[in-house]
Structure formats: C-alpha cells, structure tokens
Amino acid sequence: MSASRNNTLFKRPALAFGAVDPYLVYFSLSTIETTDMNPGFIFLLLFVGIPVTELYFMIEVGSAIGAISTISLVVFTAVLGGLMVRMQGFSTMMRVREMAGRGEVPAVEMMEGVVLLISGFSLLLPGFFTDALGFLALIPPLRRGVILWFLQRSSVIQPAYKTESKGPNKFDAIEGECHREDD
C-alpha cells in the first residue's frame, strides 16, 4: 500500500459549521475509564474544559450571526430554561407530595428534583454547551431513564434474586424446627 493511499484512509470529510467529529468523540470517550477517574481530572474538566468549550461555541456562533444576536440568544435560552425548570419543578414537587401522601417513597422523583436543580443552574450559565445539556435534562423520559440507569449502575437498585429453577419453588428452603423457651 502506498503512502499516499495510506494517508487517504485516515482522512475524514470536512465538517459543517458547529459539527462535532464523531470519531474524536468516540475515541476520547472510549479512553476514559469511569471507575478509575482521578478527582483532579474531573475538576480540570469542569473548571477548564467546559468554559473553553463554551467560549469556542460562543465565538463560532458570534462570528456567524453577530455579537448582539448571540448575546440575545444566550439571554433568551436562560429565560426560557428558567421558566421550563420552574414548571417541571412544580410538577415534580406535586408528584412527591402525592406519593408521600400515599405512604410511598418518592426516591426517583426526589432525584428528578436534583437533576432539575442542576439543569436550571446549567441553563443560567451563559453558553450553548451547558444550555444543550440543561435542555436535554428537561425531557422527562430522558431524565427518568438516566436516573434509573444511574441508580442501577450505582447498585442502589439491584435486580431480584434469581436461582435456577428446581421445581415449582424457585428458591431454596431451609427446613428446621423452632422451640420457644418461656422465662
């Protein structure tokens, strides 16, 4: 295989404005081990990576539509996001009250409240990346699915105990006798 042909194998087509290269996203996400993440790396990502990403997107959008339009768009997404978080927060609070009134534990609903709080915070931050994450968290089925996935992955919710079927009863029984001794 010639050198020029080898170079064309790894060339990817040019991306449109604002597009993210899926190869780089897959490569960077596949190299991160979630079980061995260094807290310093997480803080670096939060306090350096996200602001740099926000600046990049703001500069790109500002150069495409203008500075005033970009600032107006950022303010509009903050106001719209605040209103949506408020409506969904009240809805979640009412579900928590109903479940507590029935004597049920509103665990998932309370986690939804935490996600809505984080979503509202990210929508108030100026930028398009955090706004996109905040608006994604406002989609109720997606939010609930992510919460349930997180709870199952963190071993809070565990699947029911199952054994191999040995007949009509699926569980092993330990037989024994019990005697009560009164004082």
Residue 83, pLDDT score: 95
Residue 77, pLDDT score: 94
Reduced to 3 states, what is the DSSP secondary structure of residue 104? Answer: coil
Entry pTM: 0.63
Sort 103 into a burial class: Cβ within 10 Å, 0-12 / 13-18 / 19+.
exposed
Average pLDDT of adjacent 10-residue blocks, the chain of 183 residues? 45 48 46 64 86 92 94 94 94 93 90 94 92 94 92 72 52 73 76
Sequence ranges of the domains in the chain: 74-153
Residue 27, pLDDT score: 44
